Amino acid sequence: MLQPVAVQNKQTLTFLVVDDQELALYATINVLKPQYPDIKIIEAQTASEALNLIASNPSLPDLAIVDLSMPQTAGESARTDAGIQLLRTLMEKYRNLNIVVQSAYPRSLIRLKALISCHEGGFTVADKSLPMKEMLAKVDWALNGVIYTPKEMRTVLEVKPEWLEMLEWAFKKGLQDKEIAKQMKIAERTVRHYWRNVQNVLEVYPDDGKNLRIQTEIRAREEGLID
C-alpha cells in the first residue's frame, strides 16, 4: 500500500516531546494542541528522562518529537551526541515508534542512516528554522509512516536491489503489494517498508491531490530505475 493511512482519531494519541529548553518545549506543545485536541503529552528535558518515561509507561507513545541537541542527564550541557544516542536507542528498542526530529542543523543524522532505513515507524526531520506549520506537516507524515530525511542523506545510487525488484513487479507487471509480497517471498509489511524507503530516496512525499504511487512511478522512470 503506497498511500499512507490517515490518522483516524487524533484525540486518542500520546506524544512524547523532548527538549531541554522550556520555551521551545512549550512552544511545540502549544502548536500541537490545536491540531490534535485532547492528546496526552509527556514531557522530557533530557535523554535519560525520555527513555525512563517510555519504559515506565504501559504503552508506547504514538509519536516522539525529539530535539537533536540535548543533555544526557539533568545538569549537563546540551550535546548533539546525546540526541543521536537517544534516537539510536529509540530505533533499536522500539522499531515501530514514530519519530520527528527537530533541528536547524540535522547533518549529523547521517550517522543514523542505516538505522533510519530499517526503522519500521515513521521518521521525519523538521527544520526548526522554518514555520511551525512545517513541523506539523512532518508530525502528520511521521504518524502516517512516512520517512523524510535531509537531502544530503538521500541518493538514488544507494537504492537496494530488493527495492528495484519491487518496482519491477509494481510498474512492469502491474502487481499490488499483496501479490508483490508473494512473488518476492516476503511479508506485505516489508513491501510497504520498501516503498517508504524508495519514496524517500526519490523525494516523493504526501501532497494533497497527488497519488503517491503515480508520483513514485514518474520519479523512478525519470531516474532510470525502471524503463
**What residue segments make up the domains of the chain, in order of their start?**
10-153, 156-222
Looking at CATH, the fold of the domain delimited by 156-222 is given as: Arc Repressor Mutant, subunit A (1.10.10)
- Other C-beta atoms closer than 10 Å to the C-beta of 32 total 22
| Percentage of residues of the chain with pLDDT beyond 70 | 94
Q: What sign results for the dihedral spanned by CA atoms 217, 219, 221, 225?
A: negative
| Segment 93-113, tens digit of pLDDT | 999 999 999 998 888 888 898
pLDDT at 34: 93
Looking at CATH, the fold of the domain delimited by 10-153 is given as: Rossmann fold (3.40.50)
5 pLDDT band, cuts 50/70/90, is: very low
Mean pLDDT of 177-205: 95
**E strands present in the chain:** 14-18, 40-44, 63-67, 98-102, 123-126, 147-148
| Segment 195-224, tens digit of pLDDT | 999 999 899 999 888 899 999 999 988 887
Q: Which of 34-38, 153-157, 204-208, 216-220 has the lowest mean pLDDT?
A: 153-157
151 pLDDT band, cuts 50/70/90, is: confident
pTM over 0.85: no
Q: Which of 83-92, 109-118, 136-145 has the lowest mean pLDDT?
A: 109-118
Q: 49-77: string of b/e by CB count within 10 Å (b at 16+)?
A: bbbebbeeeeebbbbbbbbbbbbbeeeee
